Chain A
Amino acid sequence: MDKELTSLTVVFTEFYYWVTIVMMFLIHVGFCLYEVGVARRKNMLHTLMKNAMLIPLITVTFYYFGWWIYFAFQNGPGITGELKSASWALPWNELMGTHMGGKPHGTTVTATDTFTWSRVNGVFWGAFLLFSWTTGSILSGAVIERIRASAFWIFAVLVGSVTWILDAAWGWSAEGWMVKLLGYHDAYASGVVHAVAGGSALAILINLGPRLGRFRADGTARNFPPHNTWLVIIGLFLIYTGFWGFYAACNVPIWDIDADKDHAFFSATTIYLTPTTLSAVTFNFLMSLAGGLMVGYFVSKGDPYWTFSAGLSGIITASAGNDLYHPLQAHLVGALGAYCMYKLHYWVERRFKIDDAVGAVAVHGYAGFIGVVVAGLLLWGYPSSPNAGYASVTPWGQLLGAVIMFFVLGFVPCFIVSWVLKKLGLLRIPHAVELAGMDHLRESADARDAMAVVDAETQLVRK
């Protein structure tokens, strides 16, 4: 840090990720508003706390083992190599603490490690952590009003600190085996975050079952209106806002992309170290949002909830290739994703009696899956990496990647765990509690306290 330009680059990178974390906080404010708005009044506070408490639980487990998984599992292990050494990511390592970047204290890290990670480890970990919270929040909305919070928090840790970060090691890192062998390309995490969370949610919903009264005897669904549609929409709007931070955090802000070491050429890159620009990302984010919103309004006949949800799914569908798409391509991809998302949600609901309270499986899971597949067609033949010998992007590589994300790492682990919890009677709340409302006892206590205050005030007046 004794060279001014190097120091400027390091501090800029540090600050860049720090700002994205602040912006991504809005995603979680948005998810809280959104879920509480969708829930019926009798379940509001419980819904809020179920979602909010994923924050500390994913944070600590991501510190304990999630961060290490990202670096250690990039080869599988056993697919393109062994478990990788990642001492800077172990929770007891000096680089997971406050560090000036000087001489290492122990022998597990080198001077290169301390220089590289002392200023970047925390902010990079923090950016990834916010993605982890996002996977947990995606699950949270689908299962409201009948899941036990304890069960949900087990899933939040499983997806937020294990399966999503494992899929990131495999398909969202510069040296992940899916990038090397399949040419997997998923710049803004259509599959890596959204499909894996959507697949996880679907698996849990199958074992959890629908809310009581959701389906009539003839199998048709009753609509459970949100108790506050306005709150839901503001929540989705905040998620859009936080998503900007997500996109920026998915990039490396400044990197020398010139393969010739005699020259330098600095650019923003994706996580794969392939070049892109924030200008391109800005065009594509907004145009894919526009495509989603327009088609969402059309298919839902102007329903606010589905229009805004479709806007989000438009961004998610285009995310896999938004580093490279033309803005008009991103617009059409977003439009396609929104249409498919809406139709699939209702088809799955009718056909399989799946009660997804917020459409999370569709908005994130199906849209994410479709986005990865579409990227294989639109970006066919593109190099997946600047590294020599890596597979290029192909439709079959992307399809296999989408299947790995949605089913192998998303659906399967959560199906197994939710089945076990169900057999142990630990998955769902008692039916009587569900009918009375999860806030029933708190509301009764609050009502008694309020009456006690009224009595006390009445006594004061009578004195």
Chain B
Amino acid sequence: MKTGLIETWAVNPADVGPMYPFVDHEVILFLVCFVFWAAYTIWQLRFEWRHFAREDRELSTSDNCVRAIQKNSGT
């Protein structure tokens, strides 16, 4: 089983091209990573939206908000 094109290093190095495994699968690899990035971005947007919605609800009374302001007043 071989994942790369390199079988031995005892060759003319000038003839060696790509050294990474699974040559010719670059497009699939790119698509997988692109989807990973897109999924991460969507997740992060939703996560942050839920986080701030929850915080906003908790701070919606003036008492809670004033307490938070006073707690952070030393910074």
Contacts and interface: CB of A to CB of B under 8 A. Distances in A.
Interface of A: 257-260, 263, 265, 267, 274-276, 280, 294, 297-298, 301-302, 324-326, 328-329, 331-332, 335, 377-383, 385-386, 388
Interface string B1-27: 111101111111110100111100010
Given A324-B19, A329-B20, A381 B4 contact: yes
B32 interface: yes
A328 B30 contact: yes
Contact of A386 (B2, B10, B29, B30): B10
A275 B9 contact: yes
B9 A257 contact: yes
Nearest to B21: A378
A73 B36 CA distance: 44
A260 B44 contact: no
Nearest to A290: B37
Interface of B: 1-4, 6-14, 16, 19-22, 26, 29-30, 32-33, 36-37, 40, 43-44, 47
6 contacts: A275-B19, A294-B37, A332-B36, A379-B3, A381-B1, A383-B8
B43 A298 contact: yes
B63 to A, nearest CB: 26
Contacts of A325: 20-21
A297 B44 contact: yes
Contacts of B47: 301-302
A267 B26 contact: no
A383 B32 contact: no
A263 B12 CA distance: 9
Given A326-B22, A329-B21, 13 more contacts: A258-B12, A265-B12, A275-B9, A294-B37, A297-B44, A328-B30, A328-B32, A328-B33, A331-B33, A332-B33, A380-B21, A382-B2, A383-B8
Most buried by A among B19, B20, B29, B47: B20
A298 B40 contact: yes
Most buried by A among B8, B9, B22, B29: B9
B7 A329 contact: no
B15 to A, nearest CB: 10
Nearest to B41: A294
A177 to B, nearest CB: 19
A324 B9 contact: no
A386 B9 contact: yes
A335 B36 contact: yes
A326 B7 contact: no
Given A265-B14, A329-B29, A380-B3, A385 B9 contact: yes
